[in-house]
């Protein structure tokens, strides 16, 4: 199954004109995965219908048949609404209220990333391929046909939305900034497929809410590219950064030091432990790494350092290379211990951004090789904007009161320190 899907995508990306062969391969692939596609449609349909119900509950201030004070309206049945997805067309039941005030953004938000994905697929073979063939192939892939003009209109409207999202003013302080990158394969103008770095920045503001601050494309993770990326954030108003969490990529570290001088840095402990495996002499003996991992469970810098000293004493003779490397670098991963204890588990790694990257990978996997940088950036930003919207609607991610209290205590203690 995976082999046939790869063959299908390769043929689309190559732009070959053997339409009969293309249709045959696509037909075989769709037939083999029919049950799977139907199952996905059921899951997506059920999920979106549940979202619509919850939105109506919030709009009315009460759930179905619930009698409570403060209720602002009553339900009035449902209307049917179709939604075209890459799994085919699904039918949704949109609830209505008597006054006709209820509206939903489910369709707009869901279709934003769907349009980006469809546009990326279509662009693979829209150049040099007739409108008729584009329509036939997109009908096979998506259950819905797209002409050249409709694709162009959809892309233009989507690009305008994403441009506003990417250039919005950052008018809040973000004490926590998380940076990371992942790679996508993109075909250059000369036809050569090259890796491109998708740079991502997340922030947590003083309200404790997460935001996707920026997504951009670069040739690699060199210091100059990261520097330009962070400077772009500052130009849009990024301020108040107290801690940066990232991996130990040299270009990223150099850019943070140069552009955000004086800001504390937390090296992701998960990446650190992965790097530690490369220094392990006996690869089959994981007990040493398990005990190294346990150091991060101590709630204070002093406790972690005492645990590290005990770990070094126990393993130095058996694993001298690992112990030397760990002793030299582990302090970079203990910065989080200077934060309020309630924030430790959230900020000792880049796991929050890793989950974003996993979602990006899930959505870009079908494309495999992007036809150009614009389509890669379009889909990445569309998915990121969708995640961002979801975070804004959720409850706050962190309680920032402990950090505010800590900052206040440090400020009060500062004059007495100077006087001493």
DSSP secondary-structure letter at 60?
H
List beta partners, residue 245: 178, 266
Kind of pairing, strands 210-218 and 193-204? antiparallel
Structure tokens at 201: 């920045």
Residue of 75 and 126 predicted with greater confidence:
75
Query: pTM, whole model, 2 decimals?
Result: 0.71
Structure tokens at 178: 């998380």
pLDDT at 240 (0 to 100): 96
DSSP secondary-structure letter at 239?
B
- For residue 27, pLDDT over 80 is answered with no
DSSP secondary-structure letter at 180?
E
Per-residue pLDDT reduced to its tens digit, 165-180 = 999 999 999 999 999 9
Per-residue pLDDT reduced to its tens digit, 249-266 = 999 999 999 999 999 999
Q: At what angle do helices 148-166 and 106-126 cross, to 10 degrees?
A: 120
Rounded CA gap, 204 and 206, in Å? 7
CB atoms within 10 A of CB 239: 12
H or E stretch at 113: helix 106-126
DSSP 207-227: TS-EEEEEEEEESS--HHHHH
Percent of the chain whose predicted confidence (pLDDT) is above 90: 47
Helix and strand numbers, DSSP H then E, in the chain:
16, 8
Of 277-281, 341-345, 351-355, least confident by mean pLDDT is 277-281
């Amino acid at each position: 199954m995976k082999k046939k899907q790869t063959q299908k995508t390769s043929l689309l990306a190559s732009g070959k004109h053997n339409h009969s062969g293309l249709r045959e391969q696509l037909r075989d692939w769709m037939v083999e995965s029919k049950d799977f596609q139907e199952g996905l449609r059921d899951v997506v349909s059920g999920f979106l219908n549940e979202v619509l119900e919850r939105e109506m509950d919030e709009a009315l201030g009460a759930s179905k048949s619930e009698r409570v004070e403060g209720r602002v309206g009553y339900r009035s049945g449902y209307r049917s609404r179709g939604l075209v997805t890459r799994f085919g067309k699904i039918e949704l039941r949109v609830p209505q209220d008597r006054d006709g005030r209820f509206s939903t953004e489910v369709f707009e938000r869901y279709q934003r990333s769907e349009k980006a994905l469809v546009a990326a697929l279509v662009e693979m073979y829209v150049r040099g391929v007739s409108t008729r063939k584009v329509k036939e192939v997109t009908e096979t892939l998506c259950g819905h046909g797209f002409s050249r003009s409709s694709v162009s209109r959809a892309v233009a409207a989507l690009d305008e939305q994403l441009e506003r999202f990417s250039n919005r003013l950052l008018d809040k302080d973000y004490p926590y900034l998380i940076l990371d990158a992942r790679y996508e394969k993109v075909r250059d103008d000369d036809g050569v497929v090259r890796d491109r770095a998708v740079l991502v920045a997340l922030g947590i503001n003083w309200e404790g809410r997460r935001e996707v601050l920026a997504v951009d494309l670069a040739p690699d993770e060199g210091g100059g590219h990261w520097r330009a990326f962070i400077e772009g954030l500052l130009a849009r108003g990024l301020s108040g950064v107290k801690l940066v969490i990232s991996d130990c990529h040299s270009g990223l570290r150099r850019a943070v030091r140069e552009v955000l001088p004086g800001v504390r840095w937390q090296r992701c402990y998960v990446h650190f432990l992965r790097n530690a495996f490369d220094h392990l002499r006996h690869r089959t003996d994981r007990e040493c790494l398990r005990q190294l991992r346990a150091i991060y469970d101590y709630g204070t810098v002093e406790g972690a350092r005492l645990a590290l000293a005990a770990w070094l004493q126990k393993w130095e003779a058996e694993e001298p290379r690992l112990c030397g490397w760990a002793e030299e670098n582990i302090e970079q991963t203990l910065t989080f211990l200077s934060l309020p204890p309630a924030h430790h588990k959230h900020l000792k790694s880049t796991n929050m951004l890793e989950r974003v990257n996993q979602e990006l990978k899930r959505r870009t996997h079908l494309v495999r090789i992007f036809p150009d940088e614009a389509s890669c950036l379009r889909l990445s930003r569309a998915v990121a904007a969708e995640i961002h919207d979801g975070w804004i609607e959720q409850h706050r991610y962190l309680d920032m009161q402990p950090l505010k209290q800590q900052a206040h205590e440090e400020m009060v203690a500062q004059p007495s320190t100077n006087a001493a």
